[in-house]
Chain A
Amino acid sequence: MSDLADLYQQVILDHNKRPRNRGRLPTANRVAHGDNPTCGDQCSVYLRLDGDRIADISFDGSGCAISQASASLMTTQLKGRTAAEASKLYDEFRQIVTTGQAPEEISDLAAFAGVHAFPARIKCATLGWHAALNALKGDPVAATTESHKD
């Protein structure tokens, strides 16, 4: 059970059951959609950018527990951050899900360290992040995990 318990940490199960910031954000001025064609997971991310800062954020979509919990947790981490901070945080998150190693100052995102033992699921964890980064770029076209290197 060890690998699976690592994958489906309590934090992840909690965000999957009770997603935060879920639903369309009426005040959004940026939106991007991401999908993973290999598994059909979808995620839209809505942002209200105030200058360079993410004043508000939400997500919507459907998919496995990993993708939905990751998008949910991501919204809680990105609110209030600048675009540059968000991009740096994604780099750290990507590091966590691909290597299983979390920098010390990272807290909840470390829950996703278990993903690294399931390479097929890394794209699930990064789906929402791809959409968020595309939304930040002001690029409203669909993001797909196939066009990104994980």
Chain B
Amino acid sequence: MPSWSNVRSDFPALHQNVGNKPLVYLDNAATTQRPQAVIESLDHFYRCDNANVHRGLHALSMRATDAYEGARTRVARFLNAAAPEEIIFTRGTTESVNLVAASWATANLRAGDVIMLTEMEHHSNLVPWQLAAKRTGATLRFLPVTGDEGQLDLSQLDRLLTPEVKLFAFTHVSNTLGTINPVADLCARARKVGAITVVDGAQSIGHLPVDVRALGCDFFAFSGHKMGGPTGIGGLYGRRELLDAMPPWQGGGGMINHVDFLESRWKPSPERFEAGTPNIADAIALGAACDYLDGLGRDRIAAHDRELAELAHARLSALPGIRLLGPARGRSSLVSFAFTDIHAHDIVTFADEDGVALRGGHHCNQPLMRKLGLTGTTRASFYVYNETSDIEALVASMERILKFFR
């Protein structure tokens, strides 16, 4: 069981110097560090259980299959899905969204239909829908963002959410603004017009308690590496009846019941959507990440991350000429800011010399950046191992940068 009193010691990569300064890792919205338990899970699988899953009749294959399917059950419990069959393992959020766009959207959308998105979507929850729209003749529609405070303009929802909207895809937490969207409310409103919902959970999965049934979403896409798990593994939650009615999106081994020269019949979910040898070791390690986060307590993680983000927001707001994006309170685990006279990439290069790892740029949010009149922002994002001293290091680094450039 992990404990809050020594969280930092669970993450080996944190304990290093960058140049001659101790690492202050504040790029968690891009990817988190991994706890020892996840690293050991990977190590254990390759040392002891490594074999291909399914159809195997030998001991190692059976162990690998049990561990892989056990991870699916574990992830289902992490999301409070109704059954493990509602969890499809993918490479991550991007692939999960693409799966829905390739399978559900291609089978169900036609000219005259509308795909609704919001103006705060990451490119991974925008470009797949642009491609789907092109394939099907459907059009895209956007729920606006209010401005620097970064809220969805819910006053426009009734006007925009018309019966032509067949699919509403939106992010749970904005990776640029830190806004937490009212997912349950948006899903309920979408259901009223018969639209299915796709929630981009990349920035919420590791930070907020996620209960897909309480949220009422049809699909929930997420990445393992943003919750302490490995890269290259993530998942798609989908409601069972939707998944069972969807065609495969990739063909290959493992997803078929019967194959003939001219046609095949496929398995139900989840196998239908997992052609080929899956990412076995990383899926199992993702299960270990679920254990780790539940061990810390996800309500406590949410409170910890929110407190750090609010503190950072308050401390940074005192810097002259800073423009802070997103809500001051009730935000998720990141802050995003800009100076009119200093470019984000110069800031990130400077902060790196102080050992502070930040991200600067458009954060895969180019249309939102243009709307806000920005070319990019600097983003600091927090996780379970960050402390108030990390925020002091961030602020001190920003003060040094302002002095240098002004």
Contacts and interface: CB of A to CB of B under 8 A. Distances in A.
Contact of A63 (B353, B362, B366, B375): B375
Given A40-B361, A63-B375, A124 B345 contact: yes
A13 B11 CA distance: 39
A42 to B, nearest CB: 8
B404 interface: yes
A34 B90 CA distance: 36
A7 interface: yes
B405 A118 contact: no
B343 interface: yes
Nearest to B353: A4
A3 B352 CA distance: 12
Nearest to B343: A64
Contacts of B344: 64
A118 B345 contact: no
Contacts of A16: 405
A121 B342 CA distance: 16
A39 B376 contact: yes
B361 A39 contact: yes
A68 B341 CA distance: 12
B339 to A, nearest CB: 12
B353 A65 contact: no
A94 to B, nearest CB: 20
Contacts of A121: 345, 349
Interface string A110-125: 0000000010010010
Interface in A47-85: 62-66, 68
Interface of B: 342-346, 349-350, 353, 361-362, 366, 369, 375-376, 404-405
13 contacts: A4-B349, A8-B346, A39-B345, A40-B361, A40-B362, A40-B366, A40-B376, A41-B345, A64-B343, A64-B344, A64-B345, A65-B343, A121-B345
